A and B are shown apart, each in its own frame.
Chain A
């Protein structure tokens, strides 16, 4: 890299700003932030487009439509996640952090990093369905509205990661 990227924001200032964004979501839409819900909507929309007969009589997809009105892509979280990509890109551009690369601990190979990234994504994808939301939708947004389930999920996410940290330490330290 020819130029040094800018430093990150002070985390407490960043936290207050994040809190204001989350408060705005609740004030405007009556709901918190989320990420995995958008993925679920895209999965439902994709499956419907490819195999409409299958989704029409499969329970998971029927239950999705009982809980959500309208077409799956016309969904609050889908629009919010499109914004996340734009906002993340804008921040990275301003800070000089735009670059295609595999970020990993120099002690491991890129290949190993990517294998674990894929595995981690699969686990997180399944877990977010059971948890009815991920770190954003269940843990953070649940914390803001002091939801019992959200706070339980939050403790399980961080507790689970700490419990397994020793086994995966070579990937990170």
Chain B
């Protein structure tokens, strides 16, 4: 059955329309959780508000378990679901550069659009920065290309890298997430917290 668009159960235009609907859900949930506030997001890095960790890992684990169950019931063919490719060096360097952007700017791309949607001028400026950054990459591509394409590993799952089943990895990740939630609740009690 699924993925619906890959199996041509829905047309490409329907798929684009549903992208818009899914986006509404995405933006609504992010804003409801407080992801439109850079001060709330940055709390993760100083311990005064761990909402990012809680929402991020609950979301990731929910979707991961959902996909595994959908696959088990035969509702979705996981071989047709896009798996992000791994270019190891680029993934690490890119992640570190994004981390620097996160601690300076207080947003990531998705959350900055949520912040801008409710009138946060700092979020709008962050978006201007995003465009400048992507333009720099596009026009400076010859400088970045070697790093961008180094260490092509295909699109492995972490479970296959560790030679364990997807289910076992999912179970380990759930246990790790529960541990992090426990620590987060404890950390928040240690640091004074305000609502932004």
Q: Mark A38-63, 1 if CB is under 8 A from B, else 0.
A: 01101110010000000000111100
A134–B110 contact, CB under 8 A? yes
What is the CA–CA distance of A73 and B100 in the complex, to the nearest angstrom? 29
Q: Which of B86-104 contact A (CB under 8 A)?
A: 86-88, 90-104
In the bound complex, residues from chain A placing their C-beta under 8 Å from that of B115 are 88, 103
In the bound complex, residues from chain B placing their C-beta under 8 Å from that of A163 are 99
- Cβ of B174 within 8 Å of any chain A Cβ, yes or no, is no
What is the CA–CA distance of A112 and B183 in the complex, to the nearest angstrom? 33
Chain A interface secondary structure, helix, strand, loop or mixed? helix
Q: Which of B151-196 contact A (CB under 8 A)?
A: 153, 155-159, 161, 166, 169-170, 173, 181, 195-196
**In the complex, how many residues of chain B place their beta carbon closer than 8 angstroms to a beta carbon of chain A?**
133
**In the complex, how many residues of chain A place their beta carbon closer than 8 angstroms to a beta carbon of chain B?**
123
User: Known contacts A117-B106, A121-B125; is A160 also within 8 Å of B98 by CB?
Assistant: yes
In the bound complex, residues from chain A placing their C-beta under 8 Å from that of B148 are 129-130
Distance of B111 from chain A, by nearest CB (Å):
8
What is the CA–CA distance of A167 and B100 in the complex, to the nearest angstrom? 10
Option from B26, B133, B170 in Cβ contact (under 8 Å) with A124: B133
In the bound complex, residues from chain B placing their C-beta under 8 Å from that of A154 are 95
A100–B121 contact, CB under 8 A? yes
B28–A156 contact, CB under 8 A? no
In the bound complex, residues from chain A placing their C-beta under 8 Å from that of B133 are 121-129
- Cβ of B109 within 8 Å of any chain A Cβ, yes or no, is yes
Option from B34, B43, B81, B97 in Cβ contact (under 8 Å) with A30: B81
B86–A152 contact, CB under 8 A? yes
In the bound complex, residues from chain A placing their C-beta under 8 Å from that of B96 are 127, 156-157, 159-160
A145–B83 contact, CB under 8 A? yes
A124–B98 contact, CB under 8 A? yes
In the bound complex, residues from chain A placing their C-beta under 8 Å from that of B19 are 25, 29, 76-77, 79-80, 83
- Cβ of B62 within 8 Å of any chain A Cβ, yes or no, is yes
A residues touching B (Cβ–Cβ < 8 Å)? 7-9, 11-12, 14-36, 39-40, 42-44, 47, 58-61, 74, 76-77, 79-92, 95, 97-105, 113-114, 116-165, 167-169, 171-173
5 cross-chain CB contacts under 8 A: A101-B120, A121-B132, A132-B84, A143-B173, A172-B39
Given contacts A17-B29, A83-B20, A125-B101, 19 further A-B pairs with CB under 8 A are: A14-B29, A15-B62, A18-B62, A35-B108, A36-B134, A58-B141, A98-B119, A102-B120, A102-B122, A103-B122, A114-B125, A118-B105, A121-B128, A124-B98, A124-B109, A124-B130, A136-B110, A161-B102, A163-B99
